[in-house]
Homo-oligomer: A and B are copies of this chain.
Amino acid sequence: MEIPTGQDEKFMRVALNEAREALNRGEVPIGAVIVAPSGTIIGRGYNLVETLTDATAHAEMQAITAASSALGGKYLTDCTLYVTVEPCTMCAGAMAWSQLGRLVYGATDPKRGYSRHGRQLLHPRTGVTAGIMEEECGGLVSDFFKKLRA
């Protein structure tokens, strides 16, 4: 099935809204959505690590769990995951297990991002697009840490 690529900014805006929900709770502002080939959003999530006191509660993990539940199946082969910041190795591993069709992220994360360890942490068939709304996505996180340290 062909995965549409023409609405990346539209869906990244939805992921940014999820990130703002995290911000409202005092969490590192990262958000994610998963979109079916029809263009329907089937999963959403934002970082809840502090709220749930659970280091695994990243935006992408919640979105993957939600999307799998919505589909009634563990594979997201034809789906696109939008996330405001480059996924970490844990989330990349989750994407590999769910055989994600396409990953679109905003800001890069040179310190914690999966790509530092190489592309092979993802499933070989997962397409990747980076840098969509990069400034807005990255700015949200850097502003958060600037205020935290102020």
Q: Which residue of B lies closest to A98 (CB)?
A: B55
Interface hits, A86-119 → B, CB 8 Å: 88-94, 96-98, 117-118
Q: Which of B53, B92, B97 contacts A73 (CB 8 A)?
A: B53
Is A74 positioned at the interface, with any CB of B under 8 Å from its CB?
yes
Counted per complex, copies of this chain come to 2
Task: Say whether B98 contacts A93, CB under 8 Å.
Answer: no
Contacts of A98 in B (CB 8 A): 55-56
**Interface of A (DSSP majority class):** helix
Number of interface residues of A (CB under 8 A): 30
- Chain B residues in 8 Å Cβ range of A133: none
Q: What are 22 A-B interface contacts by the 8 Å CB criterion?
A: A53-B68, A53-B71, A53-B72, A54-B65, A54-B69, A55-B68, A55-B74, A55-B75, A56-B94, A88-B97, A89-B90, A89-B92, A89-B96, A89-B121, A90-B90, A90-B92, A90-B94, A90-B96, A93-B93, A117-B117, A117-B120, A117-B121
Residues on A facing B (Cβ under 8 Å): 49-50, 53-56, 61, 64-65, 68-69, 71-75, 88-94, 96-98, 117-118, 120-121
